[in-house]
Amino acid sequence: MTWYEKLLIVLAMVLFMEVFAWATHKYVMHGWGWGWHRSHHEPREGAFERNDLYAATFAVIVIALFALGTVWEPVWWVALGITVYGAIYAFVHDMLVHQRFGLRWVPRRGYFKRLHQAHRLHHAVKGKEGGVSFGFLFAPDPVRLKRRLAERAER
Ligand SMILES: [Zn+2]
Ligand SMILES: [Zn+2]
pLDDT at 140: 85
Please provide the average confidence, as pLDDT, over all residues in the chain: 93
Rounded CA-CA distance 97/91 in Å is: 9
Cα(64) to centroid(ligand 1), Å: 27
Cα(121) to centroid(ligand 1), Å: 10
pLDDT at 155 > cutoff 80: no
Number of domains in the chain: 1
Element (H, E) at 107: none
Top-confidence residue, 11 or 151: 11
Q: What is the DSSP letter of 49?
A: -
Residue 97 structural domain: 3-154
pLDDT at 47: 84
pLDDT at 152: 83
Cα(93) to centroid(ligand 2), Å: 6
Cα(34) to centroid(ligand 2), Å: 14
Assign 20 a pLDDT band (cuts: 50, 70, 90). Answer: very high
Cα(26) to centroid(ligand 1), Å: 7
**12: how many CB neighbours lie within 10 A of its CB?**
13
103-130 mean pLDDT: 89
Cα(75) to centroid(ligand 1), Å: 29
Displacement of CA 131 from its chain's centroid (Å): 15
Indicate which ligand has the atom closest to the C-alpha of 97: 2
Cα(131) to centroid(ligand 2), Å: 12
pLDDT at 68: 98
Cα(92) to centroid(ligand 2), Å: 10
pLDDT one-digit tens code per residue, 53-98: 999 999 999 999 999 999 999 999 999 999 999 999 999 999 989 9
98-116 mean pLDDT: 88
93 CB-near residues (< 8 Å, 6+ apart): 119, 136
